[in-house]
Chains A and B, each alone.
Chain A
Amino acid sequence: MTELRYLAPNSLDEAIKAFAAAGSAGRILAGGTDLLVQMRAGVVKPGLIVDIKKIAEMTEIEQTADGGFRVGAAVSGMALHDHASFGKVWPGVLEAVNLIGSKQVQGRASAGGNLCNGSPAGDSVPAMVAAGAIVTVQGPDGRREMPVEQVPAGPGRTNFKPGEILVSFTLPPRPKGSSDAYLRMIPRTEMDIAVVGLGVSLTLKDGVCTAARVGLGAVAPTVLLVEAAAKALIGSKLDEAALNAAAAACSAACRPIDDKRGTIAYRTKVAGVLLKRTTAIAAQRAKGN
């Protein structure tokens, strides 16, 4: 058995240096709600754990000068919930993050971990995709930004380069008349994994949808940005024809698997249903903004 080392550096540079040096034996620890379970099950046997929670940038929620938000990769769901204004500006992202596990899990689990875990069914990811979040990652070759939808590479895999660490999410400022929502289908009311998850972010002006993004989860190897669904919504008054077209686009985008949670046919149908329901919630919220 290789010896496990634990490091909790105060600086990102130190974390990257140690993480890059450890190669495939290194694991990043934020909330640990996936990592510790995987270690316990013997699925991963890390040689080095780098705890990033002592790095200020990783645990901060910052409202940027332009009205956007920067959320550190290790910010817990509870910390995001307790922030004074985040949930007012991004209610859909917040409700998605807060659907992950129990209150105890919320006390530790982060949107950053949810993304890096690479599950196609991660609840926060479709909402972040809909929000147009940009992630900042840093590695031995420096810092770069990428749209959140480009991070997942497949179940359990990301497009990060070796040694790169997710630092933060940047969410854009909101024009007037904007809001977002996230819904997931599960066969119970709590504590379950999405059969389908769908996030919508939109902007309304005089009742017309002027901007929209749709993120769709648990129906393909990665969470999807469904541009065809957004296109069907933009320019419409969210009338039945537009909603039907957007729902059809979501169903068409599905490449799901049959498993104990849902069949291919069921997931494909529910993706369209959720598009309509989620859009209705986002539109209702946007009217008040």
Chain B
Amino acid sequence: MAKVHVSTTINGEPSEFLCEPNDTMLDALRGPLGLTGSKEGCASGDCGACSITVDDNLICSCLMLAVESEGHELRTIEGMAQGEKLHPLQQKFLEMAALQCGICTSGMLVASDALLKRNPKPSEEEVRFWLAGNLCRCTGYDKIVRAVMDTAAEMRAQ
């Protein structure tokens, strides 16, 4: 199969890669682009471990073709920290032990970040509904929800 050349922007950096027409964005991220922070949990859009944003829109990268990224702005978990400085959500997840095995964590962080950008003051119910598409098989949901709520409160206070 002929490879397709794709030009896109990932975490603010212009990026080019080659892919097969039926590769998913997740395949491209974890393969040629070497960005393995996005995880493959289910590959069917159910688990959210591969969450990224495309033009600030939260999606599952396993449900997008890599070729579709041409000309768009993607953000992945790798773009969340500023150098060595963790994003407040990342810091809070660490402090509150809002992760166990860690497979769901990058998806949880990307999804939570997308929520707080849209809604800096979510209710607990809104956090839970927003994260309903992110599955944690360690079932550590309470700590995750509390970490997101605490981060939101801290970010509002700043």
Contacts and interface: CB of A to CB of B under 8 A. Distances in A.
Given A76-B57, A191-B132, A37 B44 contact: yes
Given A104-B45, A105-B133, A190-B129, A32 B1 contact: no
Given A49-B65, A103-B58, A107-B58, A3 B133 contact: no
Contacts of B2: 3
A108 B21 contact: no
Nearest to B133: A102
B132 to A, nearest CB: 5
A160 to B, nearest CB: 23
B116 interface: no
Interface in A9-55: 29, 31-33, 36-37, 39-40, 49, 51, 53
Main secondary structure of the interface of B (DSSP, over half): mixed
A93 B137 CA distance: 33
A104 B58 contact: yes
A32 B20 CA distance: 17
A29 B60 contact: no
B43 interface: yes
Contact of A104 (B4, B24, B111, B129): B111
B63 interface: yes
A33 B4 CA distance: 22
A266 interface: no
B59 interface: yes
A37 B22 CA distance: 12
A103 B45 contact: no
Contacts of A260: none
Interface residues of A, number: 28
B133 A39 contact: no
Nearest to A76: B57
Contact of A103 (B54, B63, B111): B111
Contacts of A33: 45, 63
A4 B133 contact: no
B63 A191 contact: no
B133 A191 contact: yes
Nearest to B129: A190
Given A103-B130, A104-B48, A104-B60, A4 B21 contact: yes
Q: Shortest 7 CB-CB distances between A and B: which pairs?
A: A102-B133, A107-B59, A6-B21, A104-B60, A190-B132, A4-B21, A107-B57
